[in-house]
C-alpha cells in the first residue's frame, strides 16, 4: 500500500506543522529551513516558556525539542507538555549533542517519541520527522474514524431507542380508542398489586399502609347487535365514544388510575388509593350513567348499557390474571342478573363457574353415553280433544342427579355452542321415533312431531342439508316434522333465517313460532315469514280465568293468526276454565298439563290408542266449572 494513501502527508504537507525548540538560533534556522523546504509549517521557540505557549496555541503536529537549554531544560518542557491535556499527545523528538550526557532510556521514559543527536544530518532529521508525522497522522485518522464510528453508533442507538419506544407504544395501546390495551393494563395492575403487597407488610403508620385498589370490568350489552345491524364503522365510532366518556370520568375522579380497552366491547378500569367500597360503587354508577346516555351516530340516537363486574383488590391475589378472571365472572353474573347492573365478585361465583365447567364436561360425556332422551307432550285439537301431534322435549337422564329438565342446561348449552351437536341429536332421535311409529302403523297421516331448534343450530350453514339428510335417512314423510323456533332467534338474524325457513318450507317441513308474544315482537315482519303456526306462550294462557279481562292479548294473537291463515297452538293449558275460554275464542289447538305432561316416547304413543290420562278425570267436570282442576302426569 503506498504511503500517500495511508498518510496524506505528501499530498497536503501544509496541514502538518512542526515546532522547533532550540536556544541556538543557528540550529533553529537550519532546521526551519530544512523543514519548510519539505513543505511543513514551522514554528520556532528559543526557550522552554515560549515552546509551551506556542505548543498550546498552535497545536503543532510534532515538536523538535532541544534538551540542553538554560532556565528550563528539554526534560522539564516535555514534562509540562505532557501534563497539559491540550499538548499531551503531541509527539516530541529530542535533540541532544553527542557530547552532552544524554540518557536515552530517561528520554523515552519522559515521553519522547524519538531522538536525534547533534550535530544532525539533514536526511536523518527528515526521515525521523516524516516517520513521526506519519504515525501522528495515522493516529489522528484513527481517532477521527473512532469518533465517527461512535457518532454512528450513537445515532443508530437513538434510532433503535425511538423504534423501540414506538413498538412498545403500539404493543401497549389499543389502536381504535388509543387507550392502553389489556397487556398494558395487566402490567400496571401487577405493579399496583406488588406495591399493595409491600404496603401490607409494613407497619400501619407507614405512608404506604392502607392503600386499596379495585378493578371494574365492563362489557357493553347488546353491542353485537349494533355492530351487526348498523355496521362495523358505526360500532367502532360507538366504542370510541364509550372510551371518551370513560376518559372524562378518569379526569374527574382521582381514584381512576388506568382505563383500558381489552378488545371487542370490553373495558377495564383500575382504581387506586381507594378509601372504601362505596367509592368504587360510585365510579361504577358514574360509568353506567355515562354509557347509558344516547350516542348520536350515523344520523340517529343509539343507546347501549353496560354490565360491570367489580373486584376489591385483596392482597391475597397473587396474579393480575386471577383478579381479571374474577372481574370477568362478576361481570357475566351482572349480565345474567339484569341488564345495566354492576356486581361485586364473591368467591361463591367462582364455585358456580366451576359448576358450569363441570356441567359442560358432563354434557359432552352425556352426549356420548346417550344420556339425553326425548319426552313427548301431546298437542290436542281443542274441539275434539284428540291428539294431533307431539312436542319433543329434551330430558337428561343424569346418572346421579336423575332426570334433569331442559331449563337447567339448554341456556348453558346455547352459551357454549354445545346446543349445535345436542340439537342435532334431538333432530335425529325425533325423526327416528317418527319413523318407527310410521313403520308400526301407530300414527295416522295427520300426526306431526314438533322439534325445538335453537338459533345457533338454525344458523349452521348446512342446516337445510342436514335436516334433509335426517329425513331421507329415516325415511319419514317431511310434513310430519314441525320445527319450533323462538321469535327471538328469527328476529335477531332475520335475513339469514328467512332464507333457511323458505328452504325448509319448500321441502314441506312445517314451521312454528314458539313462545309467541314474549319480548321480541315480530308482528311487523310476521306477514313476510314463511311460518304456518303460532304458539301462544303459556304466560298469556295461565292468567286466563272466567273474567274476560284476563284474556289479555290472546284474542289479538288469534285474530292475527286467522288473518294470516296460520294455525294457533295455545301452550300451558292447565284447567278447564282456560280450555273453555280458548275454545270460545276459536283457538284450534293446545297443549298443557290439563291433557298431559311430557312423557317418554312409549307412553306418549300409547296415548293415541286410548283416552288421555286425565281425560276421565276432567271430562266428569266438563260443563260443571271444575275451576283449577289439574291434570295428573
Q: Pick from 238, 591, 599, 612: which binds ligand C2E (CB under 6 A)? A: 591
Contact stretch for Mg ion (CB under 5 A) within 149-157, 353-361, 425-433, 509-517: 509-517
Q: Pick from 452, 474, 510, 596: which binds Mg ion (CB under 5 A)? A: 452
Vertex 265, ends 264 and 268: CA angle to 5°?
105
The C-alpha cell at 619 is 271430562
Report the nearest approach of ligand C2E to the CB of residue 311 (Å).
34
What residues from 451 to 510 belong to the interface with ligand C2E (CB under 6 A)? Answer: 452-454, 484
For position 423 contacting ligand C2E by CB under 6 A, the verdict is yes
Nearest-angstrom CA–CA distance, 200 and 206: 10
Q: Pick from 575, 592, 614, 618: which binds ligand C2E (CB under 6 A)? A: 592
Cβ(21)–Cβ(48) under 8 Å? yes
Q: Quick one: 452 or 575, whose CB is closer to Mg ion?
A: 452
For position 196 contacting ligand C2E by CB under 6 A, the verdict is no
For position 123 contacting ligand C2E by CB under 6 A, the verdict is no
For position 600 contacting ligand C2E by CB under 6 A, the verdict is no
Three-state SS for 555-622 is HHHHHHHHHCCCEEEECCCCCHHHHHHHHHCCCCEECCCCCCCCEEHHHHHHHHHCCCCCHHHHHHCC
Helices 494-506 & 463-474, crossing angle to 10 degrees? Answer: 30
Report the nearest approach of ligand C2E to the CB of residue 611 (Å).
18
For position 515 contacting Mg ion by CB under 5 A, the verdict is yes
Q: Quick one: 177 or 596, whose CB is closer to ligand C2E?
A: 596
Give the containing element (helix H, strand E) for 308.
strand 305-312
Three-state SS for 321-346 is HHHHHHHHHHHHHHHHHCCCCEEECC
Helices 48-58 & 74-83, crossing angle to 10 degrees? Answer: 30
For position 418 contacting ligand C2E by CB under 6 A, the verdict is no
Report the nearest approach of ligand C2E to the CB of residue 250 (Å).
44
Report the nearest approach of ligand C2E to the CB of residue 618 (Å).
13
Strand residue runs (E) in 154-284? 214-221, 256-263, 266-271
Positive/negative CA dihedral, 457, 458, 463, 469: positive
Nearest-angstrom CA–CA distance, 397 and 405: 9
Q: Quick one: 313 or 592, whose CB is closer to Mg ion?
A: 592
Which residue in 148, 19, 144 sits closest to 87, CA to CA? Answer: 19
For position 377 contacting ligand C2E by CB under 6 A, the verdict is yes
Report the nearest approach of ligand C2E to the CB of residue 419 (Å).
6
Report the nearest approach of ligand C2E to the CB of residue 455 (Å).
9
Q: Pick from 426, 476, 513, 536: which binds ligand C2E (CB under 6 A)? A: 426
For cell 284474542, the residue is: 555
Question: Could you give the 3-state DSSP secondary structure of residue 553?
Answer: coil
Q: Pick from 261, 572, 577, 607: which binds ligand C2E (CB under 6 A)? A: 572
Nearest-angstrom CA–CA distance, 24 and 240: 88
Cβ(467)–Cβ(509) under 8 Å? yes
Cβ(385)–Cβ(613) under 8 Å? no
Nearest-angstrom CA–CA distance, 598 and 604: 8
Report the nearest approach of ligand C2E to the CB of residue 633 (Å).
10
Peptide bond into 26 cis (omega under 30): no
Q: Pick from 262, 342, 593, 618: which binds ligand C2E (CB under 6 A)? A: 593
Report the nearest approach of ligand C2E to the CB of residue 516 (Å).
10
598 binds, among Mg ion, ligand C2E, none (CB under 5 to 8 A by kind): ligand C2E
Q: Pick from 92, 260, 334, 598: which binds ligand C2E (CB under 6 A)? A: 598
Q: Quick one: 174 or 391, whose CB is closer to ligand C2E?
A: 391
For position 421 contacting ligand C2E by CB under 6 A, the verdict is no
Residues 6+ apart with CB under 8 A from 236: 176
Contact stretch for ligand C2E (CB under 6 A) within 101-109, 236-244, 308-316, 585-593: 585-593
What residues from 567 to 596 belong to the interface with Mg ion (CB under 5 A)? Answer: 571
Positive/negative CA dihedral, 529, 534, 540, 545: positive
For position 512 contacting ligand C2E by CB under 6 A, the verdict is no
For position 406 contacting ligand C2E by CB under 6 A, the verdict is yes
Q: Quick one: 192 or 570, whose CB is closer to ligand C2E?
A: 570
Site string for Mg ion, 470-489 (x = CB under 5 A): --------------x-----
Q: Quick one: 265 or 537, whose CB is closer to Mg ion?
A: 537
Cβ(93)–Cβ(112) under 8 Å? yes
Q: Pick from 326, 433, 514, 588: which binds Mg ion (CB under 5 A)? A: 514
Q: Total residues contacting Mg ion (rule CB under 5 A)?
A: 5
Nearest-angstrom CA–CA distance, 31 and 424: 110
What does the radius of gyration of the chain's CA atoms come to, in whole angstroms?
A: 48
Q: Which residues bind Mg ion (CB under 5 A)?
A: 452, 484, 514-515, 571
Q: Which residues bind ligand C2E (CB under 6 A)?
A: 377, 393-394, 405-407, 410, 423, 426, 452-454, 484, 514-515, 538, 571-574, 591-593, 598
Amino acid at each position: 500500500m503506498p504511503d500517500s494513501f495511508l498518510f496524506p502527508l505528501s499530498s497536503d504537507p501544509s496541514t502538518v506543522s512542526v515546532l522547533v525548540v532550540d536556544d541556538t538560533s543557528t540550529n533553529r534556522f537550519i532546521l526551519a529551513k530544512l523543514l519548510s523546504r519539505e513543505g511543513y509549517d514551522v514554528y520556532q521557540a528559543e526557550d522552554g516558556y515560549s515552546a509551551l505557549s506556542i505548543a498550546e496555541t498552535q497545536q503543532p503536529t510534532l515538536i523538535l525539542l532541544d534538551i540542553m537549554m538554560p532556565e528550563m531544560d528539554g526534560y522539564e518542557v516535555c514534562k509540562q507538555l505532557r501534563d497539559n491535556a491540550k499538548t499531551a499527545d503531541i509527539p516530541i523528538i529530542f535533540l541532544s549533542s553527542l557530547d552532552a550526557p544524554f540518557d536515552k532510556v530517561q528520554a523515552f521514559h519522559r515521553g519522547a517519541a524519538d531522538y536525534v543527536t547533534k550535530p544532525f544530518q539533514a536526511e536523518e532529521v527528515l526521515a525521523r520527522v516524516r516517520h513521526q508525522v506519519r504515525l501522528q497522522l495515522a493516529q489522528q485518522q484513527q481517532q477521527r474514524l473512532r469518533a465517527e464510528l461512535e457518532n454512528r453508533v450513537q445515532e443508530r442507538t437513538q434510532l433503535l431507542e425511538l423504534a423501540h419506544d414506538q413498538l412498545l407504544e403500539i404493543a401497549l395501546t389499543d389502536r381504535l380508542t388509543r387507550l392502553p390495551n389489556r397487556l398494558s393494563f395487566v402490567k400496571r395492575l401487577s405493579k399496583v398489586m406488588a406495591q399493595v403487597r409491600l404496603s401490607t407488610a409494613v407497619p400501619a403508620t407507614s405512608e404506604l399502609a392502607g392503600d386499596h385498589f379495585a378493578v371494574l370490568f365492563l362489557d357493553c350489552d347488546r353491542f353485537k347487535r349494533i355492530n351487526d345491524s348498523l355496521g362495523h364503522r358505526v360500532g367502532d365510532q360507538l366504542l370510541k365514544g364509550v372510551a371518551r366518556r370513560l376518559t372524562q370520568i378518569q379526569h374527574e375522579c382521582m381514584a381512576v388510575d388506568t382505563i383500558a380497552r381489552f378488545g371487542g366491547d370490553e373495558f377495564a378500569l383500575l382504581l387506586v388509593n381507594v378509601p372504601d367500597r362505596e367509592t368504587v360503587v360510585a365510579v361504577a354508577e358514574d360509568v353506567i350513567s355515562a354509557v347509558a346516555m344516547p350516542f348520536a351516530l350515523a344520523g340517529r340516537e343509539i343507546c347501549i348499557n353496560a354490565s360491570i363486574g367489580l373486584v376489591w383488590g385483596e392482597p391475597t391475589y397473587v396474579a393480575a390474571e386471577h383478579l381479571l378472571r374474577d372481574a370477568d365472572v362478576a361481570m357475566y353474573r351482572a349480565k345474567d342478573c339484569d341488564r345495566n347492573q354492576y356486581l361485586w365478585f364473591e368467591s361463591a361465583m367462582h364455585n358456580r363457574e366451576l359448576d358450569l365447567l363441570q356441567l359442560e364436561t358432563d354434557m359432552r360425556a352425556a352426549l356420548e353415553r346417550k344420556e339425553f332422551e326425548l319426552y313427548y307432550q301431546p298437542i290436542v285439537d281443542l274441539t275434539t280433544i284428540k291428539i294431533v301431534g307431539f312436542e319433543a322435549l329434551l330430558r337428561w337422564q343424569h346418572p346421579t342427579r336423575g332426570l334433569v329438565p331442559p331449563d337447567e342446561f339448554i341456556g348453558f348449552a346455547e352459551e357454549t355452542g354445545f346446543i349445535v351437536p345436542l340439537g342435532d341429536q334431538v333432530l335425529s332421535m325425533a325423526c327416528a321415533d317418527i319413523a318407527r311409529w310410521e313403520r308400526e302403523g301407530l300414527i295416522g297421516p295427520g300426526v306431526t312431531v314438533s322439534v325445538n331448534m335453537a338459533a345457533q343450530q338454525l344458523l349452521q350453514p348446512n342446516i337445510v342439508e342436514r335436516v334433509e339428510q335426517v329425513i331421507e335417512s329415516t325415511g319419514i314423510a317431511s310434513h310430519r316434522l314441525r320445527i319450533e323456533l323462538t321469535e327471538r332467534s328469527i328476529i335477531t338474524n332475520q335475513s339469514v333465517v328467512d332464507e333457511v325457513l323458505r328452504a325448509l318450507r319448500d321441502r314441506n317441513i312445517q314451521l312454528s313460532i314458539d313462545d309467541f308474544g314474549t319480548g321480541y315482537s315480530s308482528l311487523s315482519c310476521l306477514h313476510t315469514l314463511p311460518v304456518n303456526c303460532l304458539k301462544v306462550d303459556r304466560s298469556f294462557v295461565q292468567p286466563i280465568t272466567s273474567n274476560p279481562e284476563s284474556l289479555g292479548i290472546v284474542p289479538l294473537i288469534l285474530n292475527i293468526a286467522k288473518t294470516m291463515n296460520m294455525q294457533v297452538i295455545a301452550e300451558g293449558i292447565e284447567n278447564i276454565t282456560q280450555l273453555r275460554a280458548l275454545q270460545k275464542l276459536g283457538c284450534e289447538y293446545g297443549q298443557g298439563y290439563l291433557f298431559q305432561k311430557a312423557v317418554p316416547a312409549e307412553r306418549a304413543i300409547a296415548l293415541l290408542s286410548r283416552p288421555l290420562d286425565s281425560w276421565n278425570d276432567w271430562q266428569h267436570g266438563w260443563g260443571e266449572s271444575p275451576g283449577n282442576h289439574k291434570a295428573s302426569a
